[in-house]
Amino acid sequence: MSVTFALFDDAGKFLAGRVMSEADASMQVELDSGKRVKVKAANVLLKFEQPAPAVLLADARALADDIDLDLAWEFAPEGEFGFADLARDYFDAKAGVVQQAAALLRLFDAPHYFRRAGKGQFKKAPEETVKAALLGIERKRQQALQIEAWAEELVQGACPQPIQDQIYKILFKPDKNGPEYKAVVEAAKRSHKAPLDLLQGAGAITSAYQFHWKRFLFENFAKGVGFPALTAPEIKDELALSPVQAFSIDDSQTTEIDDALSVQGLGTGTVVFGVHIAAPGLAITPDSAIDKVARERLSTVYMPGWKITMLPDEVVQAYTLIEGRDCPAVSIYFTMDEATLEIRAKETKLERVHIAANLRHDRLDGIVTDASLSGQAPADYAFAPELAFAWRLARQLKAQREVVRGKPENFNRPDYNFRLAGERNEPPKGDETVEISVRARGSSLDLIVAEAMILANSAWGGWLAELGLPGIYRSQASLAPGIKVRMGVKALPHAGMGVASYTWASSPLRRYVDLANQWQIIAAARHGKTAALVAPFKPKDAQLFSIISAFESAYAAYNGFQNGIERFWTLRHLAQNGITELTATVMKEGLVRADDLPLVFKALGCESLPRGSHVKLRITGLDEMTLDVHATLVERLDEVAATEEPEGDDDELEAAAAPIALAIDVDESEPVEPAPSN
């Protein structure tokens, strides 16, 4: 009795083996591996006595590759047919099992020519389908050749223009099926280089600063940072001129002067303290051209040496509180006892306010001091009595808030000023000399402005709630660890500030949330108890939730960029000044904070040191591309100085200290397929 073999379909994979037993509906087949499998009779496509199964499959595969698909398609019948039928038409009427198996394999692998109609059964695809499929195959073949060519160029140190044009998309928001992405991945594998190193070597990235800057623009300002042609609308309200002489307090670089202060009645026993906010909301209306621009940007973006404003400069200049000008303002006046500072009345007005002076922090911080404000030192500067009163008020307001908070606010960390050498009317290039100076938080002028704004914003927030007007609020349920500040439309307490409610309304030229809230405040000032009927945003207005969502996303992105670009300039500062050693305080698990620079990073040797340990570190490497710092412990300095590093924002700082993350993944990407053929 002759030995019988069978070729069968196993879930789209063709196998062959020795038939060990056979029943009506199935058979048991032994594969070359020795494994025995039960095969349904319907899945058996060929029975044969020779050659051996392995030989049959090998010979059939070799022969299948030689079958001309165009010719086979021409030979094939119009209706359904079996693979053996095609073998007899294509080869000859006596086509053997090898030729039949070859026809099966070729038909199965060419779905663009032949559609599967059942086990071993096929049907010709329509001619137009075949042509379309062949065009697709040719495109795929050409793309594979293109990927190969681009990858080779990158390996050789040159960057093809199509890849140059998509650098930031490839690295951060890639189409992983795109040929440009695949070429970079393939080149990285071949060269055994990280993608950033590969692209730098190929000249695609020539400047670390430009890399960070252009990445930010790609992700947030894809259409560029320019503004369409816009004209600032005039304020048509007939606004009375306030009798006050107001003054603002800002840095010299500030052009969007949103707020100013005034003090009336000193020496009379009753003082009226005024907070005056620029009033673009009196002219800019919701859904206007300027509003759409502001709502798209949502905030001014700050960075050392430059900024991207929320509004065009010509619009800003129309409403900013420039000294020597009578400026439209939304003002809130607090009438209070001069001795006790008890607030007896509040009133919001829409008016014009004369801005007598724009005071500047950088010129006055060393002059306007606690000693001069308290009368212990001479106060030889403008608005000395008004500033002294505002400082006394600020100290009391802060103390009252701290009682509500349950603990004092701690400003033990300094702020840092970044100054780039030279004047400019364009963004920095990244090679400028940078100076980093310390500006202690909680300075006298800082305190005055901060408490005045908190007072106004919390008062306006409460007033809107009383009138049933929705607004955008910031709240914090408690000071417990992990409880963060949230934005919403309800007037909820802000535990971190120690106020019953808090809304942002004091920076309408640089934050969209403030502009939206200003519209509500203007409606309240004009219409009082009936304001809810005419205000731009009604209770439960979906637009407010949309604004909050968009603002939070944009604000996080802008702050992330500001922190990252300040980190870049800090690394430049280290390199430009040849700084190789730093003192720092340990936070957790090797994470440290530099004592005299705005820099948090991991340092080898500090992993096991307790929180608050004071250490000296050696800088062993800086990477301006990834913003990574490499450092090792030199010695512990606790015997010299020991501080307790407060907890709170460790996770956010640790994330900021980590190298930048790319969306390109060389390890998980599939290898580039060879160019297909017909």
Contact 454, 483 (CB under 8 A): no
Collapse the DSSP code of 302 into the 3-class scheme (helix H, G, I; strand E, B; otherwise coil) and give the result.
strand
Give the chain's largest Cα–Cα span: 126
The whole-number pLDDT of residue 649 equals 58
The whole-number pLDDT of residue 321 equals 96
- CA 484, CA 469: separation in Å to the nearest integer? 25
Mean pLDDT of 502-531: 95
Residue 668 has pLDDT above 60, yes or no: no
Contact 46, 81 (CB under 8 A): no
Token digits of residue 86: 């095609």
Mean pLDDT of 129-158: 89
Collapse the DSSP code of 512 into the 3-class scheme (helix H, G, I; strand E, B; otherwise coil) and give the result.
helix
Contact 615, 591 (CB under 8 A): no
The whole-number pLDDT of residue 659 equals 63
Other CB atoms within a 10 A radius of the CB of residue 249 amount to 24
- At 672, the pLDDT band (50, 70, 90 cuts) reads very low
Other CB atoms within a 10 A radius of the CB of residue 450 amount to 16
- CA 279, CA 184: separation in Å to the nearest integer? 51
Rounded to the nearest 5 percent, the helix, strand and coil shares of the chain are 35, 25, 40
Lowest-confidence region among 14-23, 101-110, 436-445, 447-456: 436-445
227 residue type, one letter? F
- At 677, the pLDDT band (50, 70, 90 cuts) reads very low
Residue 671 has pLDDT above 50, yes or no: no
Cα–Cα distances (Å) from 10 to 103, 109, 323, 587, in that order, read: 17, 15, 85, 60
- At 410, the pLDDT band (50, 70, 90 cuts) reads confident
**What length is written for the chain?**
678
Token digits of residue 374: 């308290």
The whole-number pLDDT of residue 489 equals 92
Residue 450 has pLDDT above 70, yes or no: yes
Mean pLDDT of 332-337: 97
The rounded percent of the chain whose pLDDT value lies above 90 is 65
Over residues 51-88, the pLDDT tens digits come to 999 999 999 999 999 999 889 998 888 899 999 999 99
663 against 272, higher pLDDT? 272
Over residues 190-215, the pLDDT tens digits come to 999 888 889 988 998 889 999 999 99
- CA 247, CA 635: separation in Å to the nearest integer? 50
Over residues 337-370, the pLDDT tens digits come to 999 999 999 999 999 999 999 998 778 877 888 8
Check whether the bond before 280 is cis (ω within 30° of 0): no
Contact 402, 380 (CB under 8 A): no
Residue 455 has pLDDT above 50, yes or no: yes
- C-alpha triplet 59, 60, 62: angle, nearest 5°: 65
- CA 402, CA 411: separation in Å to the nearest integer? 13
CATH fold for domain 579-657: OB fold (Dihydrolipoamide Acetyltransferase, E2P) (2.40.50)
Collapse the DSSP code of 120 into the 3-class scheme (helix H, G, I; strand E, B; otherwise coil) and give the result.
coil
Residue 303 gets the label, from left (phi > 0), alpha (psi -120 to 50) or beta, of beta
Token digits of residue 638: 């606790």
Contact 308, 299 (CB under 8 A): no
Mean per-residue pLDDT of the chain: 89
The whole-number pLDDT of residue 524 equals 96
Residue 255 has pLDDT above 90, yes or no: no
The whole-number pLDDT of residue 591 equals 92
The whole-number pLDDT of residue 397 equals 95
The whole-number pLDDT of residue 285 equals 94
- The pTM for the full model equals 0.78
Token digits of residue 84: 């053996």
In the chain the first and final C-alpha atoms are separated, in Å, by: 44
Residue 116 has pLDDT above 70, yes or no: yes
Token digits of residue 597: 């620079």
Q: Which of 516, 560, 553 is nearest to 538 (CA)?
A: 516
The whole-number pLDDT of residue 75 equals 84
Fill in the DSSP letter of residue 18: E
Q: Please compute, for residue 78, the number of CA atoms within 13 A of its CA located in the half-sphere on the CB side.
A: 0
Whose structure tokens read 């058979």? Answer: 27
The whole-number pLDDT of residue 678 equals 41
- CA 206, CA 191: separation in Å to the nearest integer? 19
Residue 509 has pLDDT above 80, yes or no: yes
Cα–Cα distances (Å) from 65 to 76, 132, 628, 637, 677, in that order, read: 17, 22, 53, 75, 11
Over residues 615-664, the pLDDT tens digits come to 999 999 999 988 999 999 999 988 544 445 455 555 566 666 666 666 66
- CA 395, CA 447: separation in Å to the nearest integer? 8
Q: Which of 311, 220, 210, 171 is nearest to 557 (CA)?
A: 220
CATH 2.40.50.140 residue ranges in the chain?
579-657
Residue 407 has pLDDT above 80, yes or no: yes
